[in-house]
Amino acid sequence: MEHQLFIHCESYLIIICRRCKHAVWPTEIERHLKGKAHQLKHAVVQQIKENIEQWDNVARDTTQLTLPTILNEPIPELPIHDGYRCQRDPQCQYVAGNMNTMRKHWQNKHSWSPYPSRGRTAPQKRTAAQDEVDRSCQKVQFQQVFASRKGSHYIQIQTKETTEHTGTPDQNRASHVIDELERFYREQQRQTSNVIQAGEHDEANPWLRRTRWPVYYPTGGGGMDVHSIQG
């Protein structure tokens, strides 16, 4: 009967409850089966517990358990959830189930908040903050082995998309530098464009500066009219 209730996942030395979809420690089999989810009688539980104690390749306590932080392939017996992985630090592998939890992680572990000041935020600052949020996390899928305590951390499922997005730490740092440079040059171009548009009507434009015609043919004083040349 124990095989009808539990799956022996030898790859990770764990026992997974088929109904509850999470792992159960061998020492907690009795309490689990007597609980609300199963409500089995004492005699039945004792028999199942004794049979499971004979299983090999099962972690009996936390010292024998080593779970990864990333899975190349999901564990078939466990459900898959959508969540977020922190990108504030290339070495950080924290995965959260929702954005509120991720924001708390940013504050506690990285001393950063996308909205540091209270009160109403200007639209421009709000857009910039949202852009920074998008850069600070990545949508991922994850699984959870145990429901609580050790082994209950969220384990990211590595896919082709997340591998390409995450990259190596060096790639991440290089990409961030490139993004910053591109953002700087876009801002410089925008400011230059604004200065040119705000200039006087007879101020030399960039094309004229390149030809240096304003130097050789200045307007006024009997010189050649630049505007007539353009026309």
Q: What pLDDT digit, counting tens, does each position of 118-138 carry?
A: 666 667 777 888 889 999 999
d(CA 18, CA 191): 62
Does the structure show a pLDDT above 90 at 8?
yes
Q: CB–CB of 142/101 below 8 Å?
A: no
Work out the mean pLDDT of the chain and round it to a whole number. 80
3 state SS of 45: helix
Task: Check residue 11 and give its pLDDT.
Answer: 93
pLDDT band at residue 231, thresholds of 50, 70 and 90? Answer: very low
pLDDT band at residue 12, thresholds of 50, 70 and 90? Answer: very high
Residues with Cβ < 8 Å from 206, sequence gap 6 or more? Answer: 196
Q: CB–CB of 53/39 below 8 Å?
A: no
Does the structure show a pLDDT above 60 at 225?
no
> Cα dist. 92→101, 106, 109, 166, 215 in Å?
15, 11, 10, 11, 58
| Residue linked to tokens 């099962």 | 58
Which pTM value belongs to this model? 0.65
Query: pLDDT tens digits for 160-199?
Result: 665 555 444 444 444 444 455 456 546 666 666 665 555 5
Task: Check residue 155 and give its pLDDT.
Answer: 97
Query: pLDDT tens digits for 139-164?
Result: 999 999 999 999 999 999 997 665 55
- Top pLDDT among 210 and 16 is at 16
pLDDT band at residue 35, thresholds of 50, 70 and 90? Answer: very high
**Any alpha helices (H) in 29-122, and if so which ranges?**
29-34, 42-52, 99-110
Task: Check residue 226 and give its pLDDT.
Answer: 44
Q: If you average pLDDT over residues 101-118, what whole number do you get? A: 88
